[in-house]
Structure 1
Amino acid sequence: MAGMLAARVLADAYTEVLVIERDNLTGSTGPRKGVPHGRHAHALLAAGHQIIEELFPNLIDDLVASGVPAGDLAQNLRWYVNGRRLQPAPAGLISLSATRPVLEDAVRARVSALPNVNIADGCDITRVTTTKDRSRVTGVRYVRREDGNTDEEEVAADLVVDATGRSSRTTAWLAELGYAQPPETRVKVGLAYTTRHFRLRTDPYGTDLSINPIATPDNPRGAFFPKLPGDMSMCSLTGLLGDHPPADLEGFLAFAKSLPVPDIYDAIQDAEPLDEGVTFRFPASVRRHFERLTAFPDRLLVIGDGVCSFNPVYGQGMTVAAQEAMALRTQLRSGRAPDSRRYFSDIAKIIDAPWEISAGADLAFPQVEGKRTLKVRMANKYMSKLHAAATQDGTLTAAFMRAAGLVDPPTALMRPSVMLKVLRAPST
């Protein structure tokens, strides 16, 4: 998604955009190897929906017309905290119940249709090429992965954007070129998703798009149970710190039964299983601080998970990548090639808020390693009170979802009108 969104904004500024993709995309409509989390529940946050609609007008309407369920993020999704439902209320934020492959295919189709965009799939980039003084990147070398081919090809470029995600080799390339490594911040969460698909005997959703018990320190097991088109349903169970959901059906059902609400177990206990369980492990959130480097080669940028890989339970990855693509578009509109250090400084400001939300929330779990500043401790205590109050007041649910959806900044939850409702809420 980061690469497709980058290609979309680059197409407005360059004569030709070449996307070099490691996976074979021809005829591919399902999960693929390059997106290991693609088999599991995904979320495009509200801010991401807004950007997608700006870059690809009517794409959301087209998905809804194709049968993808849609509704209001705070009103039509069933959110639970410690076994209690957050009071639903309209927030004016659309939520699509689309799988990652469906959303990605729709975006890729739009990008592929652009006359100056070409996609070379089934290729592995081996290294970047540079000027003799190594101050500027001039292109890449890559191998077409077919019939055991090992011959490198070289393509020149005015700009190289690394959108290869968590497996990004930019840090290795920097070392080879004699540049310093970016400092990293890590939050070890030991997370795992396990997902199975079912054909349900009864409808547990009603008018809701999804049933989502949120993991908390008191109830660290969570789940995402989205409504999909047709008669198939997806259930993704989540567990932190090594407490991973089993893939076998018996263990999967037992884990679902241990959730603080019965809705999901009640729906799947007698459902028809349609596949084997698949597990995805996510050891740590990682933020690479490229913005702190004093030197960086010109004409090379990194976007998406290669800069910051968020704990996926917060659904921030695709939306932050979209925001970074918009920051790139802003630079491109100057008519000059993007400045690497300015770009990294700009996207660092974008990353700050979602990182504060997700990393701070992870540090509420006592076993998660990391520095708990006074700000983090106070924020987590306040959020616990806000969630409790939101079980009685839907306006607080809407406010929380606007911040979690990256439409409003986290500071919006500290507005006097919001704080007054939180502090006045009865203890539960």
Structure 2
Amino acid sequence: MNEADGTNAIVIGAGIAGLIAARVLSDHVDRVTVLERDRLPDEAVPRRGVPQGRHGHLLLAAGRRLLDGWFPGLTGELAAAGAVPLHGADLVRHQGGGYRARPDLGFLAMSASRPLLEDTVRRCLLRQRRNVTVVDQTAVDGLVVATDRIAGTRVDGVEHRADLVVACTGRNTHFLDQLAELGFPAPEVAAVRVDAAYASQLVRRGPDDLDGALAVVVDDRAGGHRTGTMVPVEGDRWLITIGSRHGEVPPSDPTEFETFARELPSPTIADVLTKAEALSPVLTHRIATDQRRQVERLRRAPAGFLVLGDAICSLNPIHAQGMTSAALQALALDRALRRYGPTSPRLPGAFYRRAGRAVDVLWRTAVGADFADPRTTGRRPVGTGLVNRYRNLVSRACHTSPVVARQALLVQHLLARPVSLATPAMMLRVLLATRRRPGHPTSAGPVAGEHTLRRPARSRVDR
């Protein structure tokens, strides 16, 4: 399995990106050590180093498939801990002025809190990969430099040598600044200002809250681009997150939080808030920009060092792409390692090119959607205006066409490319579907008649 005797790697950061990176590296080196600044709790509870961990998360189907491959049994362990499996028909989505049809695509994702997901992945990693060690309460001071490569890390003045160091320390990582001080070029940074703010609360989940549905997404593009999500998490709880942009901040007062939710175009989330028992205070989180470090354009990068995860691409959390982005980057790392090995000076460039391609679709999709709000500023991807106009048509078509809704869901979960929604046959379906009049929303369900909150019959297709 290992490519050389005595090779070792250090991963900085024990979040989702760091744990996945460690799993990939364990196939290519003899020893992997993960260094984490926080104290890692014994239970699945939020920790200081993951401030967004108290808010809603969703691991898209593409990311879930990758994790299931790297961590056999992960889905079963999550389910045993109370995580909830989500199928396509479990999701109630209000967008573009109406409710989408709900095609069943089979198993897509496990809905769980971020702490449970991280805790379960870490336990699987340590149990299944005996050459991986996680050391918490260890802050890395800097990198050890040897000529034109990075040779390890420095902790409390002590050097720890490694053949490869992978920093998974988030969008504000400072290690690239150290490299710039050593004369290595810094990657260009593309930033798009979204000024996103979120507020979340945990409430008790009742068996009849959604008449069989298991998750809700509300996108109010016409009313200031507010968003609302409600997903089931372990412990029979709903995790409700309300978001807004460009200066409007959801309130932290519980009563005002419910009122804010009531102003969304669908009453579904507010109706649950009205009757459910609150299990936590309302907590807030903010993110100013979508950010992408264009590492694939670097002309020169030191051997022995890589960044991965949000350090490369960090997006507005409403798009639910962060963890899947990290998984796709880790897949790119695995492929680069298979070709060049952990010690090759060609590894950084090869990985960054692959990682750039992996996040490109995520970036264009998320940033393009953020530019649907005219207050968003920054560098627009080419064709954003045209793409957003067609995206609005797709949203409307999803109200009446299960075929279009199915393809849109596949694209959302990265099981199909966005271009699949723009084939001639699909464009014709979209245009015809927008001419149909959907049913009328009611407080009891998304659409009277055909598309109620009650779950459609289960498909046998397991995706």
- Of the three residues 291, 303, 308, the one matched with 2:308 is 303
Evaluate the alpha carbon distance shift between residue 297 and residue 201 of structure 1 in structure 2; reply closer, same or farther with a 3 A threshold. closer
- Of the three residues 184, 189, 193, the one matched with 1:184 is 189
1:360 aligned to 2:368?
yes
Q: Match for residue 22 of structure 2?
A: 7
Q: Which runs of 5+ in 1 are unaligned?
A: 144-151
Q: Match for residue 57 of structure 2?
A: 42
Task: Compute the displacement of 1:374 (Å).
Answer: 5.8
Supply the distance in 1 between the matched residues of 2:202 and 2:401 (Cα, whole angstroms).
Answer: 34
1:110 aligned to 2:115?
no
Structure 2 letter corresponding to 1:286? Q
Supply the distance in 2 between the matched residues of 1:28 and 1:63 (Cα, whole angstroms).
Answer: 14
1:17 aligned to 2:36?
no
1:85 aligned to 2:99?
yes
SS in 1 for 2:53: coil
Map 1:200-239 → 2, pairs under 5 A: 203-218=208-223, 220-239=225-244
Q: Is the 8 A contact 1:83 1:261 kept in 2?
A: no
Structure 2 letter corresponding to 1:142? V
Structure 2 letter corresponding to 1:104? E
Supply the distance in 2 between the matched residues of 1:200 and 1:340 (Cα, whole angstroms).
Answer: 46
Task: Compute the displacement of 1:371 (Å).
Answer: 4.0
- Please list the CA deviations of residues 244-292 of structure 1 after superposition, one character each: whole Å capped at 9, or x if unmatched: 1101112101101111101111111132222211101011010001111
- Please list the CA deviations of residues 270-317 of structure 1 after superposition, one character each: whole Å capped at 9, or x if unmatched: 322222111010110100011112111111111000011111111111
Q: Is the 8 A contact 1:386 1:396 kept in 2?
A: yes
Q: Is the 8 A contact 1:200 1:268 kept in 2?
A: no
Q: Is the 8 A contact 1:82 1:219 kept in 2?
A: no
Supply the distance in 2 between the matched residues of 1:215 and 1:154 (Cα, whole angstroms).
Answer: 52
1:138 aligned to 2:148?
no
Supply the distance in 1 between the matched residues of 2:166 and 2:331 (Cα, whole angstroms).
Answer: 14
- Please list the CA deviations of residues 150-175 of structure 1 after superposition, one character each: whole Å capped at 9, or x if unmatched: xx222000000010112211221122
SS in 2 for 1:122: coil
Map 1:239-278 → 2, pairs under 5 A: 239-278=244-283
Q: Which runs of 5+ in 2 are unaligned?
A: 1-15, 438-463
Supply the distance in 2 between the matched residues of 1:26 and 1:422 (Cα, whole angstroms).
Answer: 49
Q: Match for residue 385 of structure 1?
A: 393
Evaluate the alpha carbon distance shift between residue 344 and residue 217 of structure 1 in structure 2; reply closer, same or farther with a 3 A threshold. farther
Evaluate the alpha carbon distance shift between residue 136 and residue 215 of structure 1 in structure 2; reply closer, same or farther with a 3 A threshold. farther
Supply the distance in 2 between the matched residues of 1:226 and 1:58 (Cα, whole angstroms).
Answer: 23
SS in 2 for 1:17: strand
SS in 1 for 2:378: coil
Q: Is the 8 A contact 1:216 1:365 kept in 2?
A: yes
More deviation in 381-390 or 27-36? 27-36
Task: Compute the displacement of 1:368 (Å).
Answer: 0.6
- Of the three residues 196, 199, 202, the one matched with 1:194 is 199
Supply the distance in 1 between the matched residues of 2:249 and 2:421 (Cα, whole angstroms).
Answer: 32
Supply the distance in 1 between the matched residues of 2:33 and 2:281 (Cα, whole angstroms).
Answer: 37
Task: Compute the displacement of 1:58 (Å).
Answer: 2.3
Task: Compute the displacement of 1:222 (Å).
Answer: 0.9
Supply the distance in 2 between the matched residues of 1:376 and 1:278 (Cα, whole angstroms).
Answer: 33
Supply the distance in 2 between the matched residues of 1:219 and 1:84 (Cα, whole angstroms).
Answer: 16
More deviation in 410-419 or 359-368? 410-419
SS in 2 for 1:239: strand
Supply the distance in 2 between the matched residues of 1:327 and 1:227 (Cα, whole angstroms).
Answer: 31
Supply the distance in 2 between the matched residues of 1:128 and 1:215 (Cα, whole angstroms).
Answer: 46
More deviation in 343-352 or 394-403? 394-403
1:76 aligned to 2:76?
no
Task: Compute the displacement of 1:11 (Å).
Answer: 0.7
Supply the distance in 1 between the matched residues of 2:262 and 2:207 (Cα, whole angstroms).
Answer: 18
User: CA RMSD, aligned part only?
Assistant: 1.7
SS in 2 for 1:137: strand
Q: Match for residue 329 of structure 1?
A: 334
Q: Is the 8 A contact 2:96 2:395 kept in 1?
A: no
Supply the distance in 2 between the matched residues of 1:55 and 1:372 (Cα, whole angstroms).
Answer: 35
Evaluate the alpha carbon distance shift between residue 27 and residue 420 of structure 1 in structure 2; reply closer, same or farther with a 3 A threshold. same
| TM-score (norm: length of structure 1) | 0.93
- Of the three residues 313, 320, 334, the one matched with 1:315 is 320
Structure 2 letter corresponding to 1:291? E
Supply the distance in 1 between the matched residues of 2:379 and 2:145 (Cα, whole angstroms).
Answer: 39
Supply the distance in 2 between the matched residues of 1:35 and 1:67 (Cα, whole angstroms).
Answer: 21
Supply the distance in 2 between the matched residues of 1:92 and 1:381 (Cα, whole angstroms).
Answer: 30
State the 4+ residue runs in structure 1 displaced beyond 6 angstroms.
none
More deviation in 192-201 or 205-214? 192-201
Supply the distance in 2 between the matched residues of 1:100 and 1:244 (Cα, whole angstroms).
Answer: 23
- Count of matched residue pairs: 417
Supply the distance in 1 between the matched residues of 2:361 and 2:267 (Cα, whole angstroms).
Answer: 33
Task: Compute the displacement of 1:389 (Å).
Answer: 0.4
Supply the distance in 1 between the matched residues of 2:252 and 2:179 (Cα, whole angstroms).
Answer: 39
Task: Compute the displacement of 1:236 (Å).
Answer: 0.8
More deviation in 17-26 or 369-378? 369-378
Q: Match for residue 110 of structure 2?
A: 96
Map 1:279-298 → 2, pairs under 5 A: 279-298=284-303
Structure 1 letter corresponding to 2:179? L
Q: Is the 8 A contact 2:204 2:279 kept in 1?
A: yes
Evaluate the alpha carbon distance shift between residue 269 and residue 293 of structure 1 in structure 2; reply closer, same or farther with a 3 A threshold. same
Structure 2 letter corresponding to 1:394? P
Q: Is the 8 A contact 2:190 2:379 kept in 1?
A: no
Supply the distance in 2 between the matched residues of 1:336 and 1:222 (Cα, whole angstroms).
Answer: 44
More deviation in 403-412 or 280-289? 403-412
Structure 2 letter corresponding to 1:17? V
Supply the distance in 2 between the matched residues of 1:60 and 1:27 (Cα, whole angstroms).
Answer: 20
Q: Match for residue 163 of structure 2?
A: 158
